[in-house]
Structure 1
C-alpha cells in the first residue's frame, strides 16, 4: 500500500505482483508475529514453503482453516531495512486520531436476504463512535479515548466521519500482468492477480477488497464531501478505517483489528450485529481499536479473555457503561505510570526492583491512588532486576507484577463507570512481562488476584515449587497486603521474601525481620523453634 503524492489517497502499489496470502490465523499467527517481529504494514522479504496437499485436504475435510503456507513451514521472514514503527505509545504529545467509518452494503451477494444489507444506520453508528447526550451509549469511542487516556488520546468529531452505505460487488478479480510468469499460489495464476468472493470467504483477499472498494468510493465521494476529503487526502501517520460489515459475512469473528500497524491505514472490521449492541454498547469498537494501538487480550487463569475488569478481556459485565484498562495495558500504551515520590516527584518511586529491598529492610508501605484519581496509579514490581537500569526480568521464572487500585464511578460515562460492582474499591494484581516497545511481542496481561477490605487482603507470588533467589539477592518472592482502602486511594504493604522459611540462627532470630513474609518474624515464627 502506498500514498498518492498528489491526492494523499492510499492504494495498492502500482505493478506489485505479490499475491495476497493468509499465512497463519489465530494462535499460529501470534507465534509467527513473535518469531519474526513483524507488524501489520511492514515490508518484508518472505521465503515460503508450500503446505503439502494432503495436509490441506485433511484440514479442509475436518472443517479447519487450511492456509496454503503453514507458519511452521515458512522458510524465513526478513524485515526490510526501512521498517517503520507504530509510534502510538504516548511520550508527552497528545495523539489526535483520524478515522473514516464505512458502512458496507453487500446486498449484491443476495439482494433478497437482509443479512447482506447494512442492518445499521449512520445515525446509530454515530452514537457509538461519538458521544451523544440523548444516546444511552455511555462508552462511546471518543469518550473512551479522552477519559481513559487522561486526555492523552483524542477522537475528535472534526477528525471522524461515518459514511455509506457503500455498495460493493460480491465478487471480483484483479487481472495479472500477462508479461509476468505464471504463478500457482493460492488465488493467483497466469491471468489473475487476486480474486475475492464475500459470499463464501473471509480471508486476506476479502479484507483487502473491502478496503480497496471503500477507499475507491471515498475518492469519488470526496469531491463533494469536504470533511471526507480532508480525512482521506491529508497525509497522517495512520488513519483508522472502521468497516461495519453485514451480518452474513463469512468471518469467524465478530470483530477483527490490526494488532499494531505501520501502514497508512490501520483496519478494524466489525460485524453490524456487534457494532450496535444494547448489551455492551461500543465495547466492540473499543476492543478492536485498542488492538490497533498494540494491546493484546487481557486474561485470567486459562481464559485469554478472562479479565472482566478490562475492555481487552471480558467486557460484557460493563454493559453500556465506560470501563477502562487494567494497569499493565495502561502502562503499555503510556496512558498511566507508576506512582511518583511525594517528596520529589521521582518517577522511579513506584517502579520497584530488588534494589528497593534488603535482608534488614524488606517491607515497604505505599499509597496507591485509585485509577480515576491520577494517571500515576500503580506499583510495578520486578524482583528479577537488580535495579531500574535493567527493567526486564533477569531470572527465569521471576515475573513482573502490577499492583493497582480501582473504584467504580457512580456515573456510567465516568472513568470506570462500567467497572463491575464486585470490583468497587478493589486492589488488583496483574502479571505482565512486556515492555513499552511495539516490536516486542507475545506478552499478555493476566489478572492474578483481587482484594477489597472485605476480602482476604493478602497475596503471595510464590511457593516452595517456584521460589528462586540469586546469590546477589535478586529474585525471591512477594507478599502484597491491602492495609486500607477508601474512595480515593489504598494503602498497600509489599514484603520481599528472601526465603520460603524464616531464616533462623544466632544472628537472625532476633533481628526483627520477617524474612519469609508470613507475618511472624524471628522466634514468633514456628520455623525458628526452638530459638537459639
Structure 2
C-alpha cells in the first residue's frame, strides 16, 4: 500500500536530480573559475537539536569520504546557493554523488587543494544526486543490522560513553557509569527491589531495555551482552581526521565538537582498552550537565542524534546526562535513528486539509514528541512506520464506509497489543491541489510501556495524521506526525480531509480478575462518513448526513424553514 507510492516518489526524485546533476557536471567541467571534483560518498545526517518542546537548531549534513589510506574521513557539507535543498530522502547511510568546489572547501589531502579558502573539514557542494546503487528498491528489505524490518527481532548493539571528566577536571554531579547502567537495564541482577535507604524518586521504574521491548512487542532488544558502558575523560581539545579542530572548554557545541568528541571516544577506547567500538552499531555520548572548567557542554540543548543509521558505520547519539529525562531522550533518539521525525501537534483543531502542525515536538503521546520526565511508546503513525503496530481495523472512506452509517470497532490498549490501530485510508481529494490524508486512531491506556503517559492523553482515544497520502513504512523516509485530538469518552472529532467523524463511544473496564487494572480495559469507537456539517437541505433522503445520530426530521437542523427541502 505505502511502498508503491513512496517508491514512485523516490524514482521521480532520483531522475529529476540526475538530470539536473548532469547539467551541473557539464558546467563544472567546462568552468575555468573554480576547480571541481565529483565524490562518491555516504552521508551522515544529524537531526535538529532539541530543548524541551522546541527544536533549537538545524539539520546538518556530513559525508564519509574514503581517503588515500583507505580510511573513511567525515567532512561537513556546505551547500551552495544553487544546490538542491536536501530533504528527508537524505539520511545517514545514503550514498550520493557530490560535485565539490575544491577552492571553496577546506583542505582535502588527496585533492591537493592546499590553497582552499573554506573552513577546515568542509566540502562546498555545488550539486548532488542520489547514487542509484545506494537506493534500495525494496524499502522493506529484511536484511538489516540497524533497522527492524518485520522479519526478525532487531538486536541493538550499543556503545555508551559517560563523560565524567573534562580537560583534566572531574565533573561534579554528573551521572556515573552505574547510574547510566541502571537507566538502561534497571537494577543489577540480584539487587534488592528497594534500597534500604530512602526511596530514590529519580530512579526510573523500568530500564530502557524493558521499555524498548514492551513498545516493540518484543521486536527491538537491548541486552547487557551487546552493550558496553564506559566512562570518558575528554581532553581540552583536539584535531579531527579532516583537519578541523574541536574543544571542550569554551562552551562550544558545533558539529566539529560533537563529531570530534565521538571520534575521540572511539579511538581512545580502541587504543587504551583494546576494544573496537566499530562493532557496536549505535554509539551514545552522555554529556554532563555541567563541567568543572568551562560550564556545561552543549548547554543550549538536551538531545541530538543521527537521522537514520548506516548498515556498516552505524550512527551516533548525544544526550545530556539528566537522570529524570535520560530514559525518554534515549528512546527518542533511537527512534530518530530508525527514520522517525519529530512528533508534532495540530495548529488547526478543525483538522482541515492541508494539515497544519506546530512544527515542534509537542505531541505528548509519543517518544518523538514532548516527553518531559516520564515515558511512553511511539504514537500510532510512528509505530506503524516502524512495522511494530498494525491495523486492528482498516477502512477506506470510499468503499468501506457508507454516508450516515456508523461502524463500530473495539480497540485494546496500544501498549499491550501490536494489532491496535484504527486506520482510515482516504481516497478523497478535498481539492485538486491537496492530497488525501490517512487517519490513525489508538486507545492509549496508561499500562505497559505507556504507563508514563501524561494525563492529557492517558486513557484516551488518540488521533493522528501525516502530511502524505500513503502512510510511510519500514525504510521509507519518515514524515512528522501530527496529533489531532485526544478524545475522552463521549467526545468526537471530524476529520475533514476524509469527511469522517470518529467518536469515543464507551470504555469497558478491565475484568474483575484484573485487580491491578494492568490490562487497561478497552475502547469502543464508532466511525461514520458524512457529506455535510449539518442535515440542512437534505431532510428527505433518509440519511444521517452529518453523522450526529439524527436523521431528517429528527435532526434539529431540519426543524426550520428548510424542512420541506
Same fold (TM over 0.5): yes
**1-structure distance, mates of 2:416, 2:396:** 22
TM-score normalised according to structure 1 size:
0.71
**Contact 2:66–2:72 under 8 Å retained in 1:** no
- Could you tell me how far 1:457 is from its partner in structure 2? 0.9
**1-structure distance, mates of 2:441, 2:238:** 51
Alignment of 1:465-484 (within 5 A): 476-484=498-506
TM-score normalised according to structure 2 size:
0.67
SS in 2 for 1:157: strand
From 420, 432, 442, the counterpart of 1:404: 442
Asked if residue 516 in structure 1 is aligned to residue 564 in structure 2, the reply is: no
1:370 maps to which residue? 413
**2-structure distance, mates of 1:48, 1:322:** 44
**Contact 2:413–2:443 under 8 Å retained in 1:** yes
**Contact 1:405–1:428 under 8 Å retained in 2:** yes
SS in 1 for 2:399: helix
1:438 maps to which residue? 475
1:219-246: CA deviation from partner (whole Å, max 9, x where unpaired): 23454xxxx55xx464xxx711001224
1:243 maps to which residue? 285
SS in 1 for 2:369: coil
2:400 maps to which residue? 356
- Could you tell me how far 1:290 is from its partner in structure 2? 1.4
**1-structure distance, mates of 2:502, 2:371:** 27
Asked if residue 151 in structure 1 is aligned to residue 151 in structure 2, the reply is: no
- Could you tell me how far 1:105 is from its partner in structure 2? 5.4
1:39 maps to which residue? 91
2:329 maps to which residue? 284
SS in 2 for 1:32: coil
Alignment of 1:24-103 (within 5 A): 32-34=86-88, 37-47=89-99, 75-83=126-134, 88-103=147-162
- Could you tell me how far 1:522 is from its partner in structure 2? 2.2
**Contact 1:458–1:482 under 8 Å retained in 2:** yes
2:185 maps to which residue? 130
- Could you tell me how far 1:143 is from its partner in structure 2? 1.4
SS in 1 for 2:87: helix
1:498 maps to which residue? 531
1:254 maps to which residue? 302
Distance 1:89 1:355, change over 3 A: farther
Note the residue ranges of structure 1 that are not aligned, 5 or more in a row: 3-10, 53-65, 175-187, 340-348, 387-392, 463-474
**1-structure distance, mates of 2:415, 2:72:** 51
**2-structure distance, mates of 1:527, 1:311:** 43
From 353, 361, 372, the counterpart of 1:305: 361
Alignment of 1:90-489 (within 5 A): 90-104=149-163, 107-108=166-167, 111=168, 114=170, 119-132=174-187, 133=193, 136-168=203-235, 170-172=237-239, 174=241, 193-200=243-250, 201-223=252-274, 228=275, 232=277, 234=279, 239-246=281-288, 247=290, 248-250=296-298, 252-262=300-310, 263-271=312-320, 275-277=321-323, 279-300=324-345, 301=347, 302=358, 304-316=360-372, 319=373, 321-339=374-392, 349-359=393-403, 362-384=405-427, 396=434, 398-409=436-447, 414-432=448-466, 433=468, 434-441=471-478, 443-453=479-489, 457-462=491-496, 476-487=498-509, 488-489=521-522
**Contact 2:506–2:523 under 8 Å retained in 1:** yes
**Contact 2:84–2:127 under 8 Å retained in 1:** no
**Contact 1:101–1:242 under 8 Å retained in 2:** yes
How many residue pairs align between the two structures? 430
- Could you tell me how far 1:74 is from its partner in structure 2? 5.9
**Contact 1:51–1:69 under 8 Å retained in 2:** no
1:466 maps to which residue? none
Distance 1:51 1:119, change over 3 A: farther
**1-structure distance, mates of 2:228, 2:84:** 32
Distance 1:67 1:220, change over 3 A: closer
RMSD: 3.8
Distance 1:285 1:18, change over 3 A: closer
1:58-84: CA deviation from partner (whole Å, max 9, x where unpaired): xxxxxxxx999999x964321223316
Note the residue ranges of structure 2 that are not aligned, 5 or more in a row: 1-40, 43-63, 105-117, 137-143, 188-192, 195-199, 291-295, 348-357, 510-520
Name which of structure 1's ranges 245-254 and 88-97 shifts more when overlaid on structure 2. Answer: 245-254
- Could you tell me how far 1:477 is from its partner in structure 2? 0.8
- Could you tell me how far 1:380 is from its partner in structure 2? 1.1
Distance 1:70 1:482, change over 3 A: farther
**Contact 1:476–1:499 under 8 Å retained in 2:** no
SS in 2 for 1:420: coil
1:165-213: CA deviation from partner (whole Å, max 9, x where unpaired): 2444512254xxxxxxxxxxxxx7xxxx433333453333333322322
Q: Which has the higher strand share?
A: 2
Distance 1:169 1:14, change over 3 A: farther
**1-structure distance, mates of 2:103, 2:550:** 61
**2-structure distance, mates of 1:160, 1:46:** 35
SS in 1 for 2:225: helix
**Contact 1:384–1:395 under 8 Å retained in 2:** no
- Could you tell me how far 1:140 is from its partner in structure 2? 2.2
**Contact 2:235–2:248 under 8 Å retained in 1:** no
1:177 maps to which residue? none
**2-structure distance, mates of 1:70, 1:381:** 46
